[in-house]
Amino acid sequence: MMNLSTTIAGVTFPSCFMNAAGALCVTQDELESLGRSGAGAIVTKSMTIEARQGNPEPRYYGFLGGSINSMGLPNLGYKAYAELIPHLKRFGKPVIASVAGLVEDDFPTIAEFINAAGPDLIEVNLSCPNIPGKPQIGYDPEASERLLKRVRPKVTVPMGVKLPPYFDPAHHQVMGAVLGRCGVDFLSLINSVGNGLVVDPERETVVIKPKGGFGGLGGRIIKPVALANVRAFYKFFEGKMPIIGTGGIVEGIDAFEHVLCGASAVQIGTVLVEEGLDVFGRLEAELSAVLMRKGYQSIQECRGRLNEL
């Protein structure tokens, strides 16, 4: 097997594949299973101050082109994850703590407490689309900047930001400038494409219960949006900002496309939920085969090397 290790913000990952925050990473059992799996890291569920049950079920639905979910941030609460982090580090791979909040003041509180528990990296989630009545902070550049400038001093490990998908070059420019001013060490791109709607025409119903059936889209259907965001931020930062690409990775070739666009690593959500932990081995083998066929020795050799016409 080819060496698929990668480095993000000075932290070495044994594999470039990891779970996306939200996918099979809520409970201690799930996190330990990721530790024993072929994943290159353990990414925690996005955590809030209080433990949350999340939205009513059904709240996840897989379909031919991907998935729709409105989970509503079910998680154990930040203090439970802080207790788990030292234990999870024994698996010998980086631990990425995903920090969320329901209001702005939650973020610095959680970040400071979690930082003290010693994760390898912290990912600040500015892009959960599935809390009823709560807009995505990542679509408000001023609020994002204010929040990140409050969180940054509390965090001594590399701090990244998980962003929602942007659909206009002007938004990439504005957010790129914000991130540049806030001392961000890496980016996770993208969170699910918010507020999609999947219909069951036979039953004449929506397929998930929360928010009238509206939810975040993931899987194959969102890959072009994810690739566009990876590419736009790779170019904005002239290749100097490490990027973790997320969205539409179903086969090894999809991961290769993310790397070509500028990703240093990739996260998987829908395919992990649908296929289980064995998916890491399959994706590694498929990506290795693509790299070998093309004569690359590592993902570093082809990162960002997408040609334009």
pLDDT tens per residue, range 90-144: 999 999 999 999 999 999 999 999 999 999 999 999 998 787 788 899 999 999 9
pLDDT bin (cut points 50, 70, 90) of residue 89 is very high
Share of the chain above pLDDT 90, in %: 96
pLDDT for residue 1 is more than 80: no
Token representation of residue 97 = 């703590």
Query: Is residue 205 packed enough to be buried (19+ CB in 10 Å), middle (13-18) or exposed (0-12)?
Result: exposed
Reported as a single tens digit per residue, the pLDDT across 152-184 is 999 999 999 999 999 999 999 999 999 999 999
Residues 6+ apart with CB under 8 A from 212: 206
- Its pTM stands at 0.98
118 half-sphere exposure, CB direction, 13 A CA radius: 8
Give the sheet arrangement for strand 193-197, strand by strand.
Answer: 60-63, 66-69, 214-218, 193-197
Beta-strand pair 265-268/243-246: parallel
Tell me the catalytic residues: 128
Q: Spell out the alpha helix ranges (H) of the chain.
A: 28-36, 78-88, 106-117, 141-151, 169-181, 223-236, 252-261, 270-275, 279-294
Domains of the chain, each with CATH number or no CATH = 6-55+73-192+220-294 (3.20.20.70)
Bridge partner residues of 68 (DSSP): 61, 217
Q: What phi, psi does 243 have (nearest 5°)?
A: -125, 135
Token representation of residue 78 = 């930040």
Beta-strand pair 199-200/95-99: unpaired
